[in-house]
Structure 1
């Protein structure tokens, strides 16, 4: 069976995949995707391309070797300018985190998609299935109002949550999202977490961990629920720590979210199922090596 895979993939043309963003030198996305490419014997490579402007990577996107890209901040809201087409979901969310190259005859198509929402959706639905029909989550809270928050809100809607709240320091940004989602789902904007009329079953944080404290989240947890933080630097955020003070709460780190959306990206790029265990193992080894390096630096 392994020999068949090698023979089939040997006929593929080499392709370059990247992650586009600013301040992303710490990204583990190359570790995730290169592990998958190696395991399936695909002649693909994935690397980090830092850029202050999405225009700086125009040449990479135009290259014949370009196979696709992950797109992170601050480019998720601007990369559409390079897309031939977008999914309806990416257009509704207003943010693209995945570029896929497609071929239609002689026409080369740059396809814009969003896997942030689908990764979150898979996490939420897996949690809900374990709860049982009579205990399914009904109330969701999203903290923040950027591109990641839009994906989080959409994932809650698609997961069937009945009430969805968004809180953000700048109310105008939250109100903008609410307006953009009119006709799709109803979103309730609140000025602070203290204004929640009922406690949430699902909480998704989408803001940098270094601007938050445990105390500001201490009052938002009921008996049980699911707390997800999309920030993954540091891995343990104040929001997750506040959730873990409550025994009935499951927590999901930003690294786990990154993996969940990366699996969907891998499917879009390769038309293959991602080797999940191998990708997880590569990340675990990466984390161990990073800790050892940090320890030796301290000494």
Structure 2
């Protein structure tokens, strides 16, 4: 296809500690597949304010937003989708032109990616999960809680190191669905059918999750550094549990992002091939020890 009428656009991922991100692999592969004159790169910063100039650039096409910016990037948006506003976190910036003016919309695809994973699991097992647990209470956890609600899960729990943060999340969702805040994992009275981890893997240990698992269920970890996390290790000791690593969550929400930016579907087989190839390169290890 010809792309002469399509202006070049710059896409980015904004966040801190994201030098290992596979998002450029995902989206640049998709752009090349369709012959689009777009580029996607990593822009690390401790504050969203430090990359605001990229959002305001005339060639800005859109962005992925990760922690710690998901709760602050709204101030650079002209609009937010109803879902992003409800969740209180934005992970996707979408650009539309209004004459010479660029309109920035904040959206959230973390929840929809998770929802598709839960829906696929329910269809495969032909069982409706009833109890869900989210570990953490940040921007990713808000999307996870909303995904559990949209998946029809009736009893939703959240546990977080700082109890007041979890209580605020509960308060923010109170008019939509109920959340039970737990002071610790040991306070969980029902074994969950779905567990979603949203905290950095390096802050956790396998032992702290050992008592969570009932006869069967679905365990998702949104952290993907390392690929095999303590939460996934704990779940995999129970053969009837299905585990989903963070890279699969990233791919699921990335499919939705790409569609929002381009109106096209990501070529999923090409994506998987590209991600696997990058993983093989990382296993070999860069010479300077950096990702």
- Quote the Cα distance in structure 2 between the aligned partners of 1:212 and 1:52: 23
Match in the other structure for 2:262: 270
| Cα RMSD after superposing both structures | 1.3
Q: Does 1:210 align with 2:202?
A: yes
- Quote the Cα distance in structure 2 between the aligned partners of 1:200 and 1:60: 42
Equivalent residues of 2:136, 2:158 under 8 A apart: yes
Offset at residue 99 of structure 1 (A): 0.3
Q: Residues 116-155 of structure 1 correspond to what in structure 2 (within 5 A)?
A: 116-132=110-126, 135-155=127-147
Equivalent residues of 2:26, 2:271 under 8 A apart: yes
Offset at residue 94 of structure 1 (A): 0.8
Aligned equivalent of 2:72, options 73, 78, 83: 78
Offset at residue 295 of structure 1 (A): 9.1
Match in the other structure for 2:38: 44
- Quote the Cα distance in structure 2 between the aligned partners of 1:94 and 1:51: 21
Deviations along 1:128-178, one digit per CA (max 9) or x if unpaired, are 11111xx21111000011111000000000010011000111111111000
Aligned equivalent of 2:174, options 179, 182, 185: 182
Match in the other structure for 1:66: 60
Equivalent residues of 1:139, 1:161 under 8 A apart: yes
Offset at residue 198 of structure 1 (A): 0.9
Offset at residue 110 of structure 1 (A): 0.2
> What is the count of residue pairs matched by the alignment?
289
Q: Does 1:31 align with 2:25?
A: yes
Residues 286 and 164 (structure 1), Cα distance of their counterparts in 2 relative to 1, 3 Å cut = same
Equivalent residues of 2:58, 2:102 under 8 A apart: no
Equivalent residues of 1:10, 1:42 under 8 A apart: no
Match in the other structure for 2:243: 251
Structure with higher helix content = 1
Offset at residue 294 of structure 1 (A): 5.4
Structure 1 length normalisation: TM-score? 0.94
Partner SS for 2:241: strand
- Quote the Cα distance in structure 2 between the aligned partners of 1:229 and 1:46: 25
Partner SS for 1:67: strand
- Quote the Cα distance in structure 2 between the aligned partners of 1:143 and 1:228: 10
Partner SS for 1:185: coil
Offset at residue 43 of structure 1 (A): 0.8
Offset at residue 107 of structure 1 (A): 3.7
Equivalent residues of 1:214, 1:238 under 8 A apart: yes
Match in the other structure for 2:215: 223
- Quote the Cα distance in structure 1 between the aligned partners of 2:211 and 2:137: 21
Offset at residue 296 of structure 1 (A): 10
Equivalent residues of 1:100, 1:269 under 8 A apart: yes
Offset at residue 10 of structure 1 (A): 3.3
Equivalent residues of 1:96, 1:113 under 8 A apart: yes
The farther-off stretch of 18-27 and 261-270 is: 18-27
